[in-house]
Structure 1
Amino acid sequence: MNNYYEPHESSRLAEARESFSGRLLTDGQFNEAVAITGIIEAEIYKSGTFKEKLADYAYAFARTESFDVVKAETILRDLYKARTGQTMNQLRESLMDRESGIDESADELAKEATRNIHAMIKDGDKMPFHRAYDSQAGMMAGELGITQTAARRIMCDVFREEADGELYDWGRELEEKYYRPQIEAEKAERRGRQDQSRGRKRSNTEGSLRQAHGSASRDKNRPRSRARQPA
């Protein structure tokens, strides 16, 4: 998972705590709001959008607090800027600008990412396509300074040109060849352990029943002592 926080943000967080929006919050409210700004930042790096996620989290944040949704959104925007040094829209625009200026070097990165996906699924331990694809898209996006959505689009376009096919179809074929057999083997191993466990339980139960039956038979066959007659 990518870490979007920068080392010098600790000083920014201290400033954010004493900002107009931050100083009126309790410690719990402030920590929650800062965590939400991190989620929104990750969404911008991922998709280049933030308004929908901001609205959702502002609503959720305000539900249990004494302020309304508009106030919650203002707090989140202010703390985001204090923590990162830029607004949400400024980050989005910078990513879009870099995407528009991408040159042919991105194609080579896309080809390398595709080779890495193949290796991750083939040699990895139960690695599905969507995880390998997401990992490589994140690395490519970080190197180019673009969104992960843009990186995925470039990867798909380059693969289509090079292989005359779709990246997703190729990924599913890799899953069936390498990932699926590992999963089936794991399921078979799990079923084997469960069968052994059930067998041991059944054996223990049958042994207990035989022991109880034997005790009951011995008690039944044991001669009863006669009651002594009075003299």
Structure 2
Amino acid sequence: MPSRREPAELPVIRVLVADDEAMIRAGVRAVLATDPAIDVVAEAADGRDAVELVRRHRPQVAVLDVRMPVMGGIEAAEEIRRTVPETGVVMLTTFGEDDYILRALGGGAAGFLIKSGEPEELIAGVRAVAEGAAYLSPKVAARVVAHLAAGGAGAAAGRRGAARERVAALTAREREVLAFLGGGLSNGQIARRLHVVEGTVKAHVSSILARLGVDNRAAAAVVAHEAGVVTPPPPEPKREA
């Protein structure tokens, strides 16, 4: 009789990794390999190859460096979201690339991670995006909000005030869902926290995006961070070795 912990029974998340530096790709692969439910199925050294490999392998998640030759990560993300919309995109960035992060928000990327961040954040980001959630690492969220507020104290206060006004226009339940969304929770996780069915959460998320005037969950998460209404996710349960 096969063991209940047989690897084949684990739900595997198929991932593509794209970075023009072989050492970075190796590091990302090594980190993801520590999670038995994640399988790196392809690697690319430039954006164009990344798009072609996504079309060929159909991974659940593509992890893309922002800066790559031939086709940059943002352009690759836009093309992936246009041609293979079922593949979620996680962008790898470094400090000082705030403009790229803001551009990627409009391109449909759902996750943003700092290369120098903790390995656990990479796994958490891949898992969240695979489940249909948005994931902003705490450092990325802080950088985005700081960048948006760079116009000075008055502009920063104005943006925070505007974000709070937009959030205040939501229903009480929508504000609760937005807070969880900003914390990187998937629809299923939010449903379990609120003790409702997942379809109800999906309806709330659609309404939130429309009311906030944003195109995707990651952009809504930025609004949640600006408004200061983020609810952190629960700790991940420890997996047996």
Q: Which has the larger radius of gyration?
A: 1
Q: Fold match, TM over 0.5?
A: no
TM-score band, normalised by shorter chain: under 0.3
Structure with the bigger RCO (C-alpha within 8 Å, sep 6+) is 1
Q: TM-score, normalised by structure 1?
A: 0.26
Higher helix share: 1
